[in-house]
Amino acid sequence: MNDDRQNTPDEDSVLVASWRQGELAAFESLVEKYQKRMLNIAYRITGDYEDACEVAQDAFVAAYRGIESFRGAARFSTWLTSITLNLSRNRLQKVQAKRRNEAYSLDGTAHDEDCGPVRERPSSAPSALEQLEMRTIHEKLKECINALSVEFRETIVLRDMQDFSYGEICSILNVREGTVKSRLFRAREMVRECMKRAVGEV
- Altogether, the residues listed in the chain come to a count of 202
Q: How many CB atoms lie within 10 A of CB 194?
A: 19
Q: Which of residues 124-183 bind other proteins (CB under 8 A)?
A: 134, 137-138, 141-142, 145, 156, 160-161, 166, 181-182
CB of 62 to other proteins, least distance (A): 10
Task: State yes or no: residue 20 binds other proteins (CB under 8 A).
Answer: no
DSSP state of 2: -
Residues that contact other proteins, how many (by CB under 8 A): 49
Q: How far apart are CA 78 and CA 171, in angstroms?
A: 7
Task: State yes or no: residue 121 binds other proteins (CB under 8 A).
Answer: yes
CB of 63 to other proteins, least distance (A): 10
Q: How far apart are CA 76 and CA 144, in angstroms?
A: 30
Task: State yes or no: residue 202 binds other proteins (CB under 8 A).
Answer: yes
CB of 182 to other proteins, least distance (A): 7
- Looking at the Cβ atoms of 78 and 153, the one nearer to other proteins is 153
Task: State yes or no: residue 115 binds other proteins (CB under 8 A).
Answer: yes
User: Environment class of residue 115 by beta-carbon count within 10 Å: exposed (0-12), middle (13-18) or buried (19+)?
Assistant: middle
- Judged by DSSP in three states, 14 sits in helix
- Looking at the Cβ atoms of 29 and 82, the one nearer to other proteins is 29
